[in-house]
Amino acid sequence: MDRLTTRAFWNGSYEKALAARGQHSAGSEAPPRKNLLKRVARRTLGARLVDDLTSSYTEYLRWNVIYPRYLPKTPGAKVIEIGSAPGHHLVRLRKAFGYEPFGVEYAPRGAEINREIFAGAGIGRDNVIEADFFDEGFADAHREKFDIVISGGFIEHFQNAKDVVRRHLDLLKPGGYVVVSIPNFRGLNYLLLRLLQHEVIPMHNFEIMRLNAFRGLFCPREVECLFCRYFGTFSLGLFNDGDIDVDRPLQRLIVGSKILVNPLLHLLPVQIDSRFTSPMLMYIGRKKSSAECGAAVT
């Protein structure tokens, strides 16, 4: 598999994220730092209102619009996330839909963090599988085992992304749902990426960040497309996966300004999904049964 990143890179990223939060073990969480302006606003206007308005509008769409509309409402359904660390996404899926969550993570530090996050949420540590997703032993052991297969920010780190999607489908039961999201580092987002995190540009497959190319990764004979588009108007959080790098004042300034930008996006009368500004692309599809695939061929 033609990887654009290494295990050492991801292990280092998890270590750095923990250090930025002042965490020295996977299970010890320091209280999140809050912007002074946000602290004042929470006291004045109310914590819930301010937290809702200052949250990422992109994530609001994911959890309040897209997922409720397209994901199955089946408590107990088995969901696996590919590249699951730190595990918060799966914990939230369990809370929102009652799914039984599993993760596969090949970076040892990431798997350790994921186990701690799961344990804190009352999920078994064994539900984190420390393995290479592309290992044939892993694929054989888990073939057609899951009702939902999810990855976010994963397939763009490979040149042969269509093969990566194929392996997602191998884990999925017929009738199950595949959910794949990737960042959109084109248009305005590319300019900001060059300014803020230019060193990660070689780690991404930019060709699949075009909508038609992204949709083409999923074979319509095998998967019924339920949703495929750019989503979100704009997000400064796209350029910061954890705490802002203290060694980069410009990044702190720009990404920190989301405290002002996010409320404006929530209040826009019309949201515009655009290849120039939207932070994400997402595909949701249902894997067809053998009978459906045969009917499609004939």
Find the CATH number of the domain harbouring 198.
3.40.50.150
Asked if residue 21 has pLDDT above 60, the reply is: no
What is the per-residue pLDDT for 296?
A: 64
What is the per-residue pLDDT for 30?
A: 39
Q: Give the domain extent around 143.
A: 7-18+34-297
30 or 85: whose pLDDT is higher? 85
pTM of model > 0.95: no
What is the per-residue pLDDT for 298?
A: 55
What is the per-residue pLDDT for 28?
A: 38
What's the pLDDT tens digit per position in 143-195?
999 999 999 999 999 999 999 999 999 999 999 999 999 999 999 999 999 98
Helix (H, G, I), strand (E, B) or coil at 13: helix
Angle at 217 between CA 211 and CA 219, to 5 degrees: 120
- Which of 243, 263, 273, 265 is CA-nearest to residue 255? 243
Establish if 26 belongs to a structural domain: no
Q: C-alpha 210: how far from its chain's center?
A: 18
Q: How much is the mean pLDDT over the chain?
A: 87
Establish if 25 belongs to a structural domain: no
Establish if 92 belongs to a structural domain: yes
Establish if 191 belongs to a structural domain: yes
What's the pLDDT tens digit per position in 110-122?
999 999 999 999 9
Confidence of residue 14 (pLDDT cuts 50, 70, 90): confident
Q: Determine the Cα–Cα distance for residues 184 and 277; give it in Å rounded to an integer.
A: 8
Give the start-end residues of each E strand in the chain. 78-82, 100-105, 128-130, 146-152, 172-183, 223-231, 280-287
Range in 1-5, 180-184, 209-213, 256-260 the model is least confident about: 256-260
Q: Determine the Cα–Cα distance for residues 230 and 220; give it in Å rounded to an integer.
A: 19
Non-local CB neighbours of 100 within 8 Å, separated by 6+ positions: 76, 77, 78, 79, 94, 127
Mark 113-142 as b/e (b = at least 16 C-beta within 10 Å).
bbbbbbbeeebeeebbbebebeeeebeeeb
What is the per-residue pLDDT for 291?
A: 86
Write out the two tokens for 133.
């997703």
> How many domains is the chain built from?
1
Task: Give me the residue label for tokens 């996966």.
Answer: 241
Asked if residue 259 has pLDDT above 50, the reply is: yes
Range in 80-84, 92-96, 190-194 the model is least confident about: 190-194
Establish if 164 belongs to a structural domain: yes
